[in-house]
Amino acid sequence: MILLRLISWPYIRKHALRWLLTIAGIVLGVAVFVGMHTANQSVLYAFRQTVDRIAGSTQLQISSGETGFDENVLDRVQEVREVRVAVPVIEAVVNTGLPGQGNLLILGVDMTGDRGLRQYDLESGDEAVIDDPLVFLAQPDSLIITDTFAKENKLGIGGKVPMSTMEGEKLFTVRGIMQSSGLASAFGGNLAIMDIYAAQKVFGRGRRFDRIDLAVQEGARVEDVKTKLEALLGPGFQVESPSARGQQFESISRIYALTANITSAFALFIGMFIIYNTFQIAVTQRRSEIGILRALGATRRQVRTIFLGESVVAGLLGSSLGLLLGIAIARGMTGYIGALLGEVFGIAQKAEQISTNPALMIFAVVLGVITSVVAAFIPARNAARVDPVQALQKGRYQQLSAGENRVRRITALAVTILAAVCLVLSRYRLLAYAGDALAVLAVLLLTPTLAQWVARALRPLLRWLRPVEGTLATDSLLQAPRRTSGAVAALMLSLALVVALGGLTRASYDSIFKWLGVALNPDLFISPSQSLTARSFRFPGSMAEQLRAIPGVGEVQSVRDSRIQINGAPVIFVAADVQALVQRATLPPTAGDPKQMYRLTGEGKGVLASDNFALLHGYKLGDVLDIPSPRGVLHLPIVGIVVDYSDQQGSILMDRSVYRRYWNDDTVNIFRVYLARGAAEVEVKRRILERFGAERRLFVLTNRDVRQYIVRLTDQWFGITYVQIAVAVLVALLGIVNTLIVSITDRRRELGVLQAVGGLRNQIRGTIWLEALTIGAVGLILGLAFGALQLYYSLRITGEDLAGMRLDYEYPYQICLILVPVILAVAFVSAIGPAESAVRGSLVEALEYE
């Protein structure tokens, strides 16, 4: 400790700027880790809280995926002796017509019995409503809102809330206001209670409930009642505690959490290189100090301890700052992620506050410190190996790395061979991952050598460009590979990441567009919600006929989709009239005979599975799926596997007749409408809106609208990955600045001599600029090359394990075209400051240096 204070602190103080830049790597890594996870957890927490608060004293919830079930299930449940109280629930998220209010979570309940489970805490209202649900029930436009929502919108008792319902735009009347605690604080207070039968009408649910909430009799065991109800209702129903819904959400947002992990791991990884680099430089610079200490009797261990101690301090400091920054990031991101998850997965939550998790925070700090210590390990070992005799001789550099270079090259070769073996055997998933890791390792080990080669190759070019400055710049790199290799490695890694992500994004877009062209070819889509993923509202099946009667409408296909769980995996099923569908849109098959698969599916003898579903969960053609339905488990074989990107978690396509039979549900989410020959899109759209506008809530989306919508969703999704790119580039830039500052400090004397013998300031500047550009160029060349390999792995791993997409390999040239000028420009910009400091310094001082 005392040594750390005496030896390290003055050095750190002297090079505070560089230290902070170094720590920035850790700061960013930890910040991204903490930020993304905290945001994710906050969303999860908000969701759980909403679930909890809505659940009240509910002990079990009965649901059937998202499809809902017939009313009569309630009677069967209420007849179970051990059930004290069971009440029906409909939950829906509605966009209110109130400005700036966004979504309102509507809870449809049966007020005559619901207070057995939930405390409404009505604080004001119609005298009658507070105690008496009669008025509330008698008027179907009744709404109970929360105190928060009332205040925000200046609503009082009798106030009107506009909402678009299945019967068109309607005004609802506030008949009660709940105190903002408990139930009323669910969904950020944007919660409203409606009579469940009114909700059935408003949301087009027919005579169906989404869910039954229940509490058991005193003395009955919840587990027993769960078992009994499961037996009673059959496998089409899930009987779970309210908290189990949080787990479901967690499994759905798994991909997101994984993305967050990868991003922060990358930031930390790159940060590690910067720390490694800085420490390596520090060891070189403090060589004589180490020599003195050794001469005075410091053991190797003591020297190593000093440097490791410094790395611990750097790690702690970086992690702490990262923690703060991460929390700030989380604040900014939580709403965005909540909205994204809400939109992509259609799950209601409203995350407003971030919830911090102490375990996560501690883990992040530990992670930061470990990263820092690992990064400093080799430099610290080198410091311990400093030979005091050589260190004390002025002006002599000790080559620390002569032997190490050879060892490194041999290791690199071995690792490369291993990576290649893994590549050959990469059909085993684990080996594919190992191969990627080994490839990264190999390239890192080779970085100094590769950087040398590239710099040497660039030398003639620079020399031709600027004889003096060019030579000096490249020689500086060649003479001190250690100084630059860290920065080059960091830059290379981050550029490789950019290339890989860019390629991945492009490939994903290509696939999605291809699919859009094939699968989503109707002229118009009619949906009860603005988005195609929201499933709060539904149309009656009979509406198809009414649509067909509209002039200009050629063909109408009814589609009902919903999320269910198959063997614990969330999946979207799409129920459509397969025979009609196949006439218009044939999804490209990846397995199975196209003719037969559609025939069998149409006959209800099988289902089509999406390629991503099959890949993610390991299903093959002919496997029999156990699909839970309210009428029992449906055993249907996969008769075909097709490319379909309806959902990230995978989708299955079944015939609507099967759905009607097993779910007893005739409702429709989406009508796919093909125009009659010669009909004008705008005209037909107008007619549909005129026909139904007054009596139904509906949105008519043109093909173009839907494409844009899907592209926007995809954009949002990749928006998260762009954060990775930004982080990577930022960290790499820190590396360049850091390296230049050190390079100039190291060469102060050399630069001084240069000036003394007649070098102009501009020539000095030019040298530094060129050095920066060379580092940038070396990083670019290596990074873009390594990116090609990384892209291959990204496509395999991300494609198969995360999104379940088969993606084509195509190198993203466009991105490179952007990256080259950007990185060179940034390298140049980062050289300005150091270059100025190099020419400003006193010449005499520079010459006396050391």
Partner 1 sequence: MIDLAKVSKIFSGKRQVTALEEIDLAIARGEMVAIIGPSGSGKSTLLNLIGGLDTPSSGQIEIDGNRLSGLPDDDLTRMRRDKIGFIFQFFNLLPTLTCFENVAIPLHLRGWQKKKIDERAKELLGMVGLASRIEHLPEELSGGERQRCAIARALSVYPPVLLADEPTGNLDTHTGADILKLIRDLHQRLGSTVLIVTHDPHVAESCERVIALCDGRIVEDREGKNRLLPAAAQPEVR
Partner 2 sequence: MSKTLLVAGCWWLVVAAVCAQDARQIVAESQKRGLSRSQQYEGTLEVIGSGNKISLKRWTYERIGSYGSSKAILRFTAPAEVKGVALLIVNHADRASDQWMWTPALERDRRIALQDRSTRFFGTDFSFEDLEERDVNQFDYKLAGEETFDGQPCWKIESKPKEGKSSQYTSSVLMIRKDNYVVIQIENFAKEKLVRRIHYSDVQQQDGIWVGRTTEVLDANRGSRTVLKLEKLKYNLPMQEESFTLEALRRG
**Residue 128 binds which of partner 1, partner 2, none (CB < 5-8 A, kind-dependent):** partner 2
Among positions 301, 427, 635, 840, the unique one binding partner 1 when judged by CB under 8 A: 301
Tokens 């844009």 sit at which residue? 708
Please give the angle made by the CA atoms of 678, 681 and 685, to the nearest 5 degrees: 130
CA atoms of 269 and 371, how far apart (whole Å): 8
- Closest approach of Cβ 351 to partner 1, in Å? 49
> For the residues of 569-587, what is the DSSP string, one character each?
EEEEEEEE-HHHHHHH--P
Interface positions, 771-790, toward partner 2 (CB under 8 A): none
**Residue 837 binds which of partner 1, partner 2, none (CB < 5-8 A, kind-dependent):** none
The structure tokens listed for 549 are: 């009667």
Nearer to partner 1 (CB atom), residue 117 or residue 384: 384
Q: Should residue 842 be labelled a site residue for partner 1 when binding is judged by CB under 8 A?
A: no
Q: Should residue 690 be labelled a site residue for partner 2 when binding is judged by CB under 8 A?
A: no
Among positions 288, 356, 716, 745, the unique one binding partner 1 when judged by CB under 8 A: 288
CA atoms of 477 and 4, how far apart (whole Å): 32
The structure tokens listed for 734 are: 């820190």
Among positions 134, 295, 756, 760, the unique one binding partner 1 when judged by CB under 8 A: 295
**Residue 195 binds which of partner 1, partner 2, none (CB < 5-8 A, kind-dependent):** partner 2
CA atoms of 574 and 26, how far apart (whole Å): 46
CB distance 769 to 761 below 8 Å: no
- Determine how many CB atoms are found less than 10 A away from the CB of residue 840: 8
* Binding residue count for partner 1, defined by CB under 8 A: 27
- Closest approach of Cβ 165 to partner 2, in Å? 13
Among positions 95, 285, 302, 702, the unique one binding partner 1 when judged by CB under 8 A: 302
CA atoms of 809 and 814, how far apart (whole Å): 14
> For the residues of 294-360, what is the DSSP string, one character each?
HHTT--HHHHHHHHHHHHHHHHHHHHHHHHHHHHHHHHHHHHHHHHHHHHHH-------S----HHH
The one-character DSSP state at 770 is H
- Closest approach of Cβ 386 to partner 1, in Å? 11
- Determine how many CB atoms are found less than 10 A away from the CB of residue 113: 14
Element (H, E) at 751: helix 748-756
CA atoms of 376 and 387, how far apart (whole Å): 19
CA atoms of 441 and 349, how far apart (whole Å): 42
Among positions 92, 293, 361, 422, the unique one binding partner 1 when judged by CB under 8 A: 293
Q: Should residue 75 be labelled a site residue for partner 2 when binding is judged by CB under 8 A?
A: yes
CB distance 546 to 642 below 8 Å: no
> For the residues of 504-555, what is the DSSP string, one character each?
HHHHHHHHHHHHHHHH---SEEEESSSSSS--S--B-TTHHHHHHTSTTEEE
Q: Should residue 298 be labelled a site residue for partner 1 when binding is judged by CB under 8 A?
A: yes
Q: Should residue 297 be labelled a site residue for partner 1 when binding is judged by CB under 8 A?
A: yes
Q: How many CA atoms lie within 13 A of 695 on its CB side?
A: 8
* Binding residue count for partner 2, defined by CB under 8 A: 28
**Residue 461 binds which of partner 2, partner 1, none (CB < 5-8 A, kind-dependent):** none
Interface positions, 189-228, toward partner 2 (CB under 8 A): 195, 197-198, 201
- Give rounded-to-5 percent helix, strand, coil for the chain: 60, 15, 20
Judged by CB under 8 A, the stretch of 11-19, 542-550, 595-603, 780-788 that binds partner 1 is 11-19
Nearer to partner 2 (CB atom), residue 115 or residue 331: 115
Q: Could you tell me whether strands 651-655 and 569-576 are parallel, antiparallel, or unpaired per DSSP bridges? A: parallel
The structure tokens listed for 740 are: 């230049």
Among positions 21, 85, 556, 641, the unique one binding partner 2 when judged by CB under 8 A: 85
The structure tokens listed for 342 are: 């809400």
Interface positions, 118-147, toward partner 2 (CB under 8 A): 127-128, 130-135, 137-140
Between the two ends of the chain, the Cα-to-Cα distance in Å is: 28
Among positions 114, 126, 289, 523, the unique one binding partner 1 when judged by CB under 8 A: 289
Among positions 20, 76, 78, 179, the unique one binding partner 2 when judged by CB under 8 A: 78
Give strand pairing partners of 86.
214
**Residue 132 binds which of partner 1, partner 2, none (CB < 5-8 A, kind-dependent):** partner 2
Cα-Cα-Cα-Cα dihedral sign, residues 49, 50, 54, 55: negative
Nearer to partner 2 (CB atom), residue 126 or residue 771: 126
Nearer to partner 1 (CB atom), residue 133 or residue 291: 291
Q: Should residue 356 be labelled a site residue for partner 1 when binding is judged by CB under 8 A?
A: no
Q: Should residue 822 be labelled a site residue for partner 1 when binding is judged by CB under 8 A?
A: no
**Residue 585 binds which of partner 1, partner 2, none (CB < 5-8 A, kind-dependent):** none
The structure tokens listed for 614 are: 């099959």
**Residue 666 binds which of partner 2, partner 1, none (CB < 5-8 A, kind-dependent):** none
In 3D, which of 268, 201, 223 has the Cα closest to residue 36? 268
Judged by CB under 8 A, the stretch of 108-116, 281-289, 512-520, 780-788 that binds partner 2 is 108-116
**Residue 169 binds which of partner 2, partner 1, none (CB < 5-8 A, kind-dependent):** none
Q: How far is CA 713 from the centre of its chain?
A: 13
Judged by CB under 8 A, the stretch of 10-18, 176-184, 197-205, 423-431 that binds partner 1 is 10-18
Judged by CB under 8 A, the stretch of 147-155, 389-397, 447-455, 599-607 that binds partner 1 is 389-397
Q: Should residue 283 be labelled a site residue for partner 1 when binding is judged by CB under 8 A?
A: no
Q: Should residue 847 be labelled a site residue for partner 1 when binding is judged by CB under 8 A?
A: no
- Closest approach of Cβ 109 to partner 2, in Å? 12
Judged by CB under 8 A, the stretch of 80-88, 284-292, 731-739, 793-801 that binds partner 2 is 80-88
- Closest approach of Cβ 343 to partner 2, in Å? 32
Among positions 257, 265, 392, 434, the unique one binding partner 1 when judged by CB under 8 A: 392
- Closest approach of Cβ 299 to partner 1, in Å? 5
CA atoms of 572 and 567, how far apart (whole Å): 13
Nearer to partner 1 (CB atom), residue 8 or residue 146: 8
Nearer to partner 2 (CB atom), residue 195 or residue 655: 195
CA atoms of 432 and 673, how far apart (whole Å): 44
Nearer to partner 1 (CB atom), residue 715 or residue 848: 848
Alpha-carbon separation of residue 44 from 47, 60, 345, 355, 723 (angstroms): 5, 20, 13, 9, 21
Alpha-carbon separation of residue 708 from 460, 536, 714, 789 (angstroms): 50, 22, 10, 32
**Residue 756 binds which of partner 1, partner 2, none (CB < 5-8 A, kind-dependent):** none
CB distance 768 to 744 below 8 Å: yes
679 contacts: CB under 8 Å, gap ≥ 6 = 551, 552, 553, 554
Residues near partner 1 (CB under 8 A): 2-3, 6-7, 10-11, 13-14, 288-289, 291-302, 387-389, 392, 394
Binding residues (CB under 8 A) for partner 2: these are 74-75, 78, 83-86, 110, 112-113, 115-116, 127-128, 130-135, 137-140, 195, 197-198, 201
